[in-house]
Amino acid sequence: MHRFQGKSVVVTGAASGIGRASAMLFAAEGASVIAADLSDGVERTVAAIVDAGGSAQAVRMDAGSEDDVAALVATACDAHGGIDVFFANAGVSGGAAGIFDQSATDWTEILRINLIGPAMAIKHAGQKIVERGGGAIICTASVAGLRSGAGGPAYSASKAGVINLVQTAAQQFSGSNVRINAICPGLIETGMTASAYEYARAKGVEDRIGRLNPMRRGGVPEEIARVALFLASSDASYVNGQAWVVDGGLSTSHPVTRQEFGKTSF
């Protein structure tokens, strides 16, 4: 299938993980992709797309900088005449520090990338998608944004903000034919979770990864990417302002580890 033939698609955080998998899948479906990331790994993503016969261009940028986001949008419009889909996927974890250990500087940086970044993507790309006659915006949130027990405080707050941002933006885009939705991944093997996976493998307990969800495993980036493609496609033409949870069933319960004042455990 070539659901995105002739479509202009931008993916941030495309150097690895969910962003790379999504950029590659969009390209495989015929899209002209702008793959963006601060890391030089984005060049490898583009090389893989081109080697597979797809169309892609790499842009090095800071997803939390309004100037960089505006420049990214301009690049996509110059290259492809506009934007049909923007996947605001870039984010940082902020580590596992507790609320008493994170400084205002820590919070500012996490919110800048995880929440302000998607807001700037919506602001700048949204207008161009409207001019195109409509399209889709997808933002990466997290199950950590739904309730406690799945991430650090600043990270969780930033992802809760993304969910509300998407809901609010859906109303702001009323009548424009622009749909906007969020994806809430559970435990996925990406650069963000690499240390946990590496630790488990080194200890010989890899089979315990994801054991708290009903599917008893962690996810892979392609499982999130396929949902992003669905939400961006005409198959999701009546899906708008929603937070799609893709977590193997983890959030049906959100098992909580015991926490005590002065101690942090996730």
CA 105 from centroid of its chain's CA atoms: 23
- Residue 238: active-site member: no
Catalytic pick among 155, 197, 199, 238: 155
Question: Coil, strand, or helix at residue 201?
Answer: helix
Closest CA to 35 of 51, 52, 53, 16: 16
Instruction: Name 46's Cβ contacts closer than 8 Å, sequence gap at least 6.
Output: 23, 35, 56, 57, 58
Q: Are 128 and 1 in contact (CB under 8 A)?
A: no
DSSP 174-194: TTTTEEEEEEEE-SB-STTTH
List the catalytic residues. Answer: 155
